[in-house]
Chain A
Amino acid sequence: MNVQQLGETIKDRFGPDVIDFETLGPDQLYVTITPESLVAVAEHLYQNEGCRYVINSGTDRRQQRDAFLITHFFTQDEEKIYIAVHTEVGADDPQVDSITPVVPAANWSERETRDMVGVVPVGHPDPRRLVLSDDWPEDLYPLRYDVAHDVHPPPAEGVAPERLEPPEGASVVPIGPFFPVLEEPAYFRVFVEGEQVVGADYRGFYNHRGIEKLGCSVLTYNQVPFIAERICGICGYVHSCSYCQTVERAAGIEVPDRAEYIRTIVLELERVQSHTLWLGIAGHIIGFDTVLMQTWRMREPLMWLCERITGNRKAYGMNLLGGVRRDIKPEVYGDIRGVIDKIGDEWAELAAAIPGDSTLMARLQGTGILTTETARKLGAAGPTARGSGLAIDVRLDHPYAAYDRLEVTKCVHDSCDNLARVLVRLEETLDAIKIIHQALDDMPDGPIMAEIDEELPAGRQAMSAVEAPRGEVFHWVLTGTENRPERWRVRAPTYANLQCVPPMLEDNALADVPICIGSYDPCFSCTERMEVVDVNSGQVRVYTEEEFRNEYDQPGDK
């Protein structure tokens, strides 16, 4: 089914509720529907068309249309199509039906839209505050156009995060708010009966930086790639690539071939350094620090190589709209091959040693089970999804940069445990090295930057994704006036994967909790979300602030 047919199918099925649909190229479908039909359309896409949920976005369009634009993004991976479902809700009554009851993965993003734009998801099973800090004023929505990017409301006294009470008879083990293993802000309260985990409570968002707001209010098109790169401290280049691709697509900018190859090479170098870093951290988490020392030793020459070809060991600063800023000169091809081959050889030795190491296997095999069904339901991405038998990989499903001209392998394992996620990454690293060699072999000559002479048109939109080391990074841009996007929406892969943690922790021993959390390579600062789920019953209870204050304030809290 091509993108046009999919649009017509939806139009036929929902008739007058589909106001309009348009396509962009062979892979992007934009459907505008009435607010009343939102739940039905979302359910149809999720259940009948086999779509995977990506993210929700809210845009304040009161200046242009006297309305808020609510958009749900889906993807049909087999047909290689991204679908945006737009619906407009009036500015006088900012409410929209929640799709979370039919599409569970929409849980966080609908709450985020409520927090940031102020459109209330009606019928949401868990409508608590998600993104904003506890003392943020109720009626101040940061992503509305009339709220300044640097507004600082006064801090309030006597506020506390809404916490979940442990099940009857269970004890609480707090991990955080500064997660000591990953050195990142995350606060898990793990409920245990003896050594067995029976539930978890997560509070995040300690590092919310308002990057989307900056991109839509003070920065210009070519300043955004640099802040996009700083969304993540390990795999930032994926965000700057994804952002640039999105704007290039929306404005119809043709990127030169050579620039696409350079982006591909740098993306794969980043994958290698990220996976080597991750394996070291995983070893560190389970108390096997030799792995940490050795993988980070292997990784260091790669960081120096990146410093040499991009100008920095991380935060490369390579991308601008239309291409890349630095060429990779033919005289360094040999050095690139030398560095990655050395890593490849040692990595292969390490990969061969791991399955025979009973200490490692005891910690990895059979722990942190994330079933294929749960992974699909909660929209898992990247190695987390591939370790649970979901064969999704943006590089093959929605090719970008030069990946359509290169041979990429999907590394999938179906044992669904921590070991599967380790094996996926071990294989992917070796595959990334092969891809870099291929790209260097085929590298075309030519310019590295497209000339952009005219102002970018306003009111255009595009979606683009990049397969980050942690999974699918998704960006959507609606172009605006004043040389900046009107709305720029980012989804980091940990956003989806973090929602999979509570089911993953279920029935594990307490000692396995850190490696379960570590096994999906979380990047809290990229994501920063909050979730409370009772794993025992699967129930999500909603508490008012008053109830929480009365029941859970500890003596001395006030």
Chain B
Amino acid sequence: MIASKLKEAILSLRPGRVTLKYPFAPHDPEGDFRGYPEIDTDKCIGCGGCAAVCPARLIMIQDIDQNTRRIVRLLERCIFCGRCADVCPEDAITMTKRFELSTDSGREDMESECQVFMATCQRCGRCYEPPSALDKIMKPGLRNDEVKRGGQDSPYKHISSE
């Protein structure tokens, strides 16, 4: 009995103090940690690949007219899996190391919205992604992405300050 208690005491005393100061001091995540995704809306071509693979189904795509596609993301549902970044053909999505999402200003901080000008199909009248990079360059006036973003504490603030 005493021997066992002594063993346990040694086991407990040996490591010393291990409690971290987090959240009062930052604690960086390890190596290849996947935090929340950051979207470079200038690179987005509106292909919708991210929306097709997102397990949390948080990316919504609406074609609001014949040449405007609206992409809404609800980050509050994001599970940081990084599937969108895997499939994005333009590398517009990068997984950051940031993970703190708490906010005191409500849901809008967790939303991001962008509109991408698309080509219009001459047959069906729906939006489609222009066929090649050259086509995009040839239509310079067509890209005028509007990004709506959240309030003061939005994780997307770094985008909004640009």
Contacts and interface: CB of A to CB of B under 8 A. Distances in A.
A219 B15 contact: no
B30 A357 contact: no
Nearest to A291: B8
Contact of A312 (B3, B7, B80): B80
Given A308-B32, A311-B33, A357 B4 contact: yes
A346 interface: yes
Contact of B53 (A223, A311, A352, A357): A223
A219 B57 CA distance: 9
Nearest to B4: A356
16 contacts: A219-B55, A223-B54, A230-B79, A290-B8, A293-B12, A304-B30, A307-B29, A307-B30, A307-B31, A307-B33, A311-B33, A311-B82, A315-B79, A326-B32, A353-B7, A355-B4
Interface string B5-19: 101100110010010
Interface of B, helix, strand, loop or mixed by DSSP: loop
Contacts of A220: 52
Interface residues on A, range: 35 or more
A204 interface: no
Contacts of A353: 4, 7-8, 11
A309 B32 CA distance: 7
A195 B123 CA distance: 80
Interface of B: 1, 3-5, 7-8, 11-12, 15, 18, 29-34, 52-57, 79-83, 86
Interface in A228-280: 230
Contacts of B52: 220
Instruction: Give 6 closest A-B pairs by Cβ, nearest first.
Output: A356-B4, A226-B55, A308-B31, A311-B34, A308-B30, A353-B7
B17 to A, nearest CB: 10
B55 A227 contact: yes
Contacts of A230: 79
Contact of B1 (A294, A297, A349, A356): A356
A346 B11 contact: yes
Contacts of B82: 311, 317
A544 B51 CA distance: 48
Nearest to B99: A312
Given A294-B11, A325-B86, A226 B31 contact: no
Nearest to A227: B55
A312 B33 CA distance: 6
